[in-house]
């Protein structure tokens, strides 16, 4: 699928086939995220991590102030704003990089974009009250993700008759809702939601059949980094899942992903560069 550049708050995201898939670096400013909770709570440490990920080749920094791991506690709007806005402002002032805000709250979307965020990454696909309107007002690209249930309960016996069909139909429906609300179709991205209300087999089916999602005509973002499905396959703790994460990310690229969301940016950037070089050899 051919895509051009997307304008993200004054910065361009080039998703053309002539360049490797882009890497989105994960910056969780939360005390309880499954892999890096508590590591980047201060503005200084978060900025240092953002700068390191930029040096390592990240095209986007995804800032999140509320953990979406199974069982994580909800946070208030003000708590989330207090966590993410100073970080976004600091990155915006010190770095030239596209900043994504990982949130489902319309108030956080608005304030994050005012502070410098150029993309919205919503695990609830703009289903919260007021989210469609907020996203439309900001005018920035939006990634719509599929999630079955809520983060705190999503892994309690998820069931699908056909996970690929169900997820694809959901994303098509959300695309239609966004367009009906006035959000241009060319600013939308999609994420099948690897690990969000799915078993290991469901996640593997989504990756194996990822190319089917290209039929929706939107750039595909995949977040597989250090996920529990990799742990289930390899029996590794979160800090020992790099090889599995890289293997899964490379397969995602092969099957159609345009953006890979990752904790380990340098290794992931290397992997997608090799993937791109091999697939374009001789052309």
- Summarize pLDDT for 52-95 with one digit per residue, the tens: 999 999 999 999 999 887 767 789 999 999 999 999 999 999 99
258 vs 5: CA distance, rounded Å: 12
Average pLDDT of the chain, as a whole number: 93
**Positive/negative CA dihedral, 195, 152, 138, 131:** positive
pLDDT band per the 50, 70, 90 thresholds, residue 158: confident
- Of the candidates 139, 99, 104, the one whose C-alpha atom is nearest the C-alpha of residue 125 is 104
Mean pLDDT over 195-224 rounds to 97
The answer to whether residue 176 scores a pLDDT higher than 60 is yes
pLDDT tens for each residue of 86-144: 999 999 999 999 999 999 999 999 999 999 999 999 999 999 999 999 999 999 999 99
Does residue 227 carry a catalytic annotation?
Answer: yes
Contact at 8 Å (CB) between 140 and 9?
yes
The answer to whether residue 35 scores a pLDDT higher than 80 is no
**HEC readout, 124-182:** CCCCCCCHHHHHHHHCCCEEEECCCCCCCCCCCCCCCCCHHHHHHHHHHHHHHHHHHCC
pLDDT at 38: 54
CATH classification of 20-66+78-276, choosing from 3.90.1280.10, 3.20.20.20, 1.10.150.240, 1.10.1240.10? Answer: 3.20.20.20
pLDDT at 154: 55
Pairing state of beta strands 5-8 and 11-14? antiparallel
pLDDT band per the 50, 70, 90 thresholds, residue 5: confident
SS3 27: strand
pLDDT band per the 50, 70, 90 thresholds, residue 157: confident
pLDDT at 67: 84
Instruction: Please tell me the pTM assigned to this model.
Output: 0.93
Kind and range of the H or E run holding 196: none
Contacting residues for 260 by C-beta, under 8 A, at least 6 apart: 21, 22, 23, 24, 221, 222, 223, 224, 225, 249, 252, 253, 268, 272
Task: List the structure tokens of 22.
Answer: 């882009």
- Of the candidates 231, 208, 222, the one whose C-alpha atom is nearest the C-alpha of residue 268 is 222
pLDDT at 156: 65
Contacting residues for 76 by C-beta, under 8 A, at least 6 apart: none
Task: List the structure tokens of 88.
Answer: 């976004």
- Which residue among 69, 83, 218, 261 is the active-site one? 261
* Residue ranges covered by each domain of the chain: 20-66+78-276
* Residue 144, strand partner residues: 122, 190
Longest dimension (CA), the chain: 53
pLDDT band per the 50, 70, 90 thresholds, residue 236: very high
Residue 212, classified by CB atoms within 10 Å of its CB into exposed (0-12), middle (13-18) or buried (19+), is middle
- Which residue among 105, 110, 198, 227 is the active-site one? 227
């Amino acid at each position: 699928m051919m895509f051009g550049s997307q304008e993200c708050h004054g910065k361009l995201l080039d998703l053309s086939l002539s360049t490797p898939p882009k890497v989105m670096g994960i910056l969780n400013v939360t005390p309880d995220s499954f892999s890096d909770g508590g590591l980047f709570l201060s503005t200084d440490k978060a900025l240092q991590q953002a700068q390191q990920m930029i040096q390592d080749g990240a095209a986007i920094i995804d800032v999140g102030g509320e953990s979406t791991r199974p069982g994580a506690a909800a946070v208030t709007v003000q708590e989330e704003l207090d966590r993410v806005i100073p970080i976004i402002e600091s990155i915006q002032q010190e770095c030239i990089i596209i900043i994504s805000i990982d949130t489902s709250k319309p108030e956080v979307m608005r304030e994050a974009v005012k502070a410098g965020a150029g993309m919205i990454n919503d695990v609830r696909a703009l289903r919260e009250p007021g989210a469609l309107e907020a996203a439309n007002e900001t005018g920035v690209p939006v990634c719509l993700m599929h999630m079955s249930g809520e983060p705190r309960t999503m892994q309690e016996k998820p069931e699908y008759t056909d996970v690929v069909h169900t997820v694809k139909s959901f994303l098509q429906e959300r695309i239609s809702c966004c367009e009906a609300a006035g959000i241009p179709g060319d600013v939308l991205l999609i994420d099948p939601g690897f690990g969000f209300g799915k078993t290991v087999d469901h996640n593997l089916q989504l990756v194996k059949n990822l190319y089917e999602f290209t039929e929706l005509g939107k750039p595909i973002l995949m977040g597989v980094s250090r996920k529990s499905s990799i742990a289930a396959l390899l029996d590794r703790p979160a800090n020992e899942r790099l090889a599995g994460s890289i293997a899964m990310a490379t397969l995602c690229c092969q099957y159609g992903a345009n953006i890979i969301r990752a904790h380990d940016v340098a290794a992931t950037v290397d992997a997608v560069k090799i993937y791109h070089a091999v697939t374009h050899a001789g052309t």
